[in-house]
Amino acid sequence: MLRLKESFKVLSPEDCQKIYQTALKILKKVGVKFENSRLLEAYKSNFALEADTNGMVKFPEKTVEDILERARTDYMRNYTAKTDDVIKPIKFAMGYCCTQIIDMDSNAIRLASKSDLDDACILGDAISEFCSIPPLFFPQDVSLPNYALHALEVLLKRVDKNKINYSIGEAGNAKYIKEMYNTAYNGEMMNMAHRFLMSPLVFDDISMKIIYEYHDLDMPVRISSGMVVPGASGPVSLAGSLALTIAEDIACMPFNLIYAKGRWHTRPCIGLTFLDQKTGQSCYSGPDALLCALAANELNDYLGFPDAGRSGANADICISNFQAGAEKMFDVMTKIYTGFPFIYVCGRLGPGHTTGSLPQVIMDWEAGKMINFFLKGLEVNDGTLAFDLIKKVGPGGSYLSEEHTAEYFRSEVWLPEIFQRIRPDGNKEKTDFVAEAAKEKVKTILKAHDPHYLSEDQEKELAKIVKRADMEMGMS
């Protein structure tokens, strides 16, 4: 196993303190606007916070420390400290929330369909290394206000319940989602309703009414900072936007302590979204985004929430090409060498996670396996040192026919499945070998794997619930 002697650090302890102290000043002197009276009453009764006539709530420093201490206690209940400096193998997850797809046959980019999501779920379910499968696509050929219901229907049918991961939270959907889980798993839920504070510093009434819609049906809920955008919803200076994000996350913690009830650990998320100043597109893979991702983990450590971990493999281009590969590998390797746990998110392209690709899922999986082969390091023992074999073969001999070679070559030498090592004269007709191999792998999996985790009656009942939701909400 590779060991991390000294991880990347982008902030000094003094930097962390300055950012945190600025977050305290934001909460104490600027405050957060509460547009929802029910939320305000919850904060008043549980944390003795008061609002002025405009709904502005300022957080005294002592209250913030109390919030953080309670949140740390909640977080540490499920925390297991690292006992060594070994870099852990990365885990894999399906990408999520793409509204467009690179068509596998034409290579054209089009709107994603429910059928595309079905294929993505089958693909993810077939890959045993995937620990988490959210919807890679938000289907665009359904009633859009109910896209979450259509996506959940596919997930429940096609994915092992232990791998379903879907943060939901659309208006009017809660009661139908509750029915769907009652039908599929007797009410056991694999989802959590999630809404965001509206940056900068507003608990908007619409989002809070939606989150209470889910809470009132006893569904898991949480809120977090709204992904501050430097230069738009936050200062363009990165330290300022990090401080603003921490302030917003701390402001969200009381809600999660009150309502999550142990179903989600309460900690800062500290995530930023970047805006390309030339195109106006959301970006996640640039050096600015990576600096802030590393800083976020260091700030979590400073605040007493260790080993928060990160996901990634982001790309800000909408096609599979050199830029996508370079951005993804830069994102992954930089985050891995922080020493924090890492999840490789497969199949998602940019900008703003808008585009998904089934062959990209396979290519990302292959890249992740390559990284894991590297992370396992060198095995040094009598078998791998092979002195007796070297003595036996002697000068000028060959190791090709030796049993030792057959025994060890798969574990000692990386053999790619999708990546190609072809001479220039090996195939003059094709140039995109990897993409073609990935497409064939997708087709093979989809042909061989047809998971159904529910009975036929359950599947029919889910379809009825979704159809009734479309009709009752005037979307049929």
Q: Are strands 342-346 and 91-94 parallel, antiparallel or unpaired?
A: parallel
Q: Spell out the long-range contacts of 35-38 with Cβ–Cβ below 8 A and sequence spacing 24 or more.
A: 35/202, 35/203, 35/204, 35/205, 35/208, 36/203, 36/204, 36/205, 36/208, 36/209, 36/212, 38/208, 38/212
Q: Are strands 221-224 and 191-196 parallel, antiparallel or unpaired?
A: parallel
Q: How many domains does the chain have?
A: 1
d(CA 179, CA 441): 36
Residue 455: what pLDDT? 97
Domain with 407, as residue range(s), is 382-412
Residue 87: what pLDDT? 75
**What are the residues facing 194 on neighbouring strands?**
222
Per-residue pLDDT reduced to its tens digit, 205-238: 999 999 999 999 988 899 988 789 999 999 999 9
Residue 463: what pLDDT? 97
pLDDT tier, 420 (very low <50, low <70, confident <90, very high otherwise): confident
**Tokens standing for residue 387:** 């002195």
| Cα distances (angstroms) measured from residue 382 to each of 157, 388, 404 | 49, 9, 12
Residue 119: what pLDDT? 98
Per-residue pLDDT reduced to its tens digit, 275-288: 888 898 989 999 99
Mean pLDDT of the chain: 90
Residue 60: what pLDDT? 97
Residue 106: what pLDDT? 94
Residue 392 resides in a domain: yes
| Cα distances (angstroms) measured from residue 235 to each of 31, 240, 242, 245, 274 | 16, 6, 9, 11, 11
Query: Reading across the β-sheet that carries 130-132, which strands appear in turn?
Result: 130-132, 91-94, 342-346, 310-312
Residue 114 resides in a domain: no
Report DSSP state, residue 144: G
Residue 391 resides in a domain: yes
Mean pLDDT of 18-22: 98
Residue of 415, 78, 64, 105 whose CA lies nearest to 260: 78
3-state secondary structure of 342: strand
Residue 174: what pLDDT? 93
Residue 233: what pLDDT? 94
Q: What radius of gyration, in Å, describes the C-alpha atoms of the chain?
A: 25
**What are the residues facing 57 on neighbouring strands?**
32, 51
Residue of 312, 313, 317 whose CA lies nearest to 350: 317
Q: Is it the case that residue 388 has pLDDT exceeding 60? A: yes
Residue 387 resides in a domain: yes
Residue 100 resides in a domain: no
Residue 262: what pLDDT? 61
Mean pLDDT of 41-66: 95
Q: Is it the case that residue 4 has pLDDT exceeding 60? A: no
Residue 240: what pLDDT? 97
Terminal C-alpha separation, the chain = 55
Mean pLDDT of 34-61: 96
pLDDT tier, 466 (very low <50, low <70, confident <90, very high otherwise): very high
Residue 426 resides in a domain: no
Q: Is it the case that residue 243 has pLDDT exceeding 80? A: yes
d(CA 138, CA 111): 9
d(CA 342, CA 88): 8
Residue 103 resides in a domain: no
Residue 404 resides in a domain: yes
Higher pLDDT, 166 or 449: 449
Residue of 364, 343, 347, 366 whose CA lies nearest to 355: 347
